[in-house]
Amino acid sequence: MTFNVSLIQVNGSPKTVREAVISMLSNEWPLSAKQIISKGKKEFGFSVSNQAVYKAIKQLENEKIIKNEAKGYLLNPEWIEKTKEFSTELHRLYSSNGFEKHSGNSFTCSTLYESDLFLMNLALQNAPSEKNDSDPLILHWSHYWVPLLLSMEDYRKIKDALLKFRVYGLVKGNTVVDRWCHDFWVKQGFNTKQGIDVASTADLVVYRDMVVQIFYPPEIKKALDDFYSTPKQIQDLDIHYLFENIFQKKTSIQIITTQNAGLAKQLTQETMKFFEGETQ
């Protein structure tokens, strides 16, 4: 399982060959590999070998950040669109407070299952030593699904990792399945509300000054929506189908993490309003 950094600093000098290649192709395209090497030496003082530059170009191409056409390399329009969606959402959320540059990373997972493992590792790395004294963990989710997959060890680990936090979750789904998962988490001590208009663009995790957005491709979102809306009762679920055909389906899921205390505080405050007078 690999996670690929695919965003660069918005401003400032590139710190790696990968960032420099993206920076060059943001200002001029298409460029051949030889032109990238030449410009890199002139503009960024490349001190690495040509082979290292070729390797960085190939990695970016494999990750679908850039593409190679007849006249040379250019940024992949699909990657640009995903980056634009994220930037637009950030601007909407805190434009009233002005815009500041913050560090950020983007990771690509090839299945929904891998994205869950990534988030589990993130939770374990940031888990508080004392739950009652911890900052709230904010979740905006399209559907809860961890309770459906507890027959698998990894999802039991995810459940245990989440229980280390004071969780305040908003979930968009309001089907029979969503309500069953909601009730499960309430019994585990979660503060959660369902049928809330969130996660239209991406699922969201906020903890302290960290904001994480998970962008699922349209076909994965549709498959999940169809799966959740079909059963009339929880006993009708085909969990094997869910995991094998949706969670293991090869795709491209973008996860973007941002360290931004102001944005995290705003999202936390907006979420906590749903729980005024009834939080645990």
Domain ranges of the chain: 17-75, 80-275
The mean pLDDT of the chain is 83
For 210-220, the pLDDT digits (tens) are 899 999 999 99
Question: Would you state the pLDDT for residue 226?
Answer: 95
Q: How far apart are CA 52 and CA 48, in angstroms?
A: 6
Domain 17-75: which CATH number of 1.10.10.10, 1.10.940.10, 2.40.40.20, 1.10.3720.10: 1.10.10.10
Question: Would you state the pLDDT for residue 222?
Answer: 96
Instruction: Determine the CATH number of domain 80-275.
Output: 3.30.870
- The distance between the two most distant Cα atoms of the chain, rounded to a whole number of Å, is 65
Instruction: Give start and end residues of each alpha helix (H) in 165-260.
Output: 176-187, 218-229, 239-242
| Token code pair at residue 3 | 């996670």
| Token code pair at residue 243 | 């995991």
Residue 115, class by beta-carbon neighbours within 10 Å (0-12 exposed, 13-18 middle, 19+ buried)? Answer: buried
For 104-159, the pLDDT digits (tens) are 578 888 889 988 988 887 887 777 766 665 689 999 999 999 999 998 988 998 89
Question: Would you state the pLDDT for residue 241?
Answer: 94
Question: Would you state the pLDDT for residue 6?
Answer: 37
pLDDT along the chain (280 residues), means of 10: 35 70 89 92 82 90 87 88 55 38 67 88 76 82 94 89 92 95 94 93 92 94 95 90 93 89 93 81
Q: Helix or strand or coil: residue 245?
A: helix
Q: Helix or strand or coil: residue 99?
A: coil
Q: Flag whether the pTM goes above 0.75.
A: no
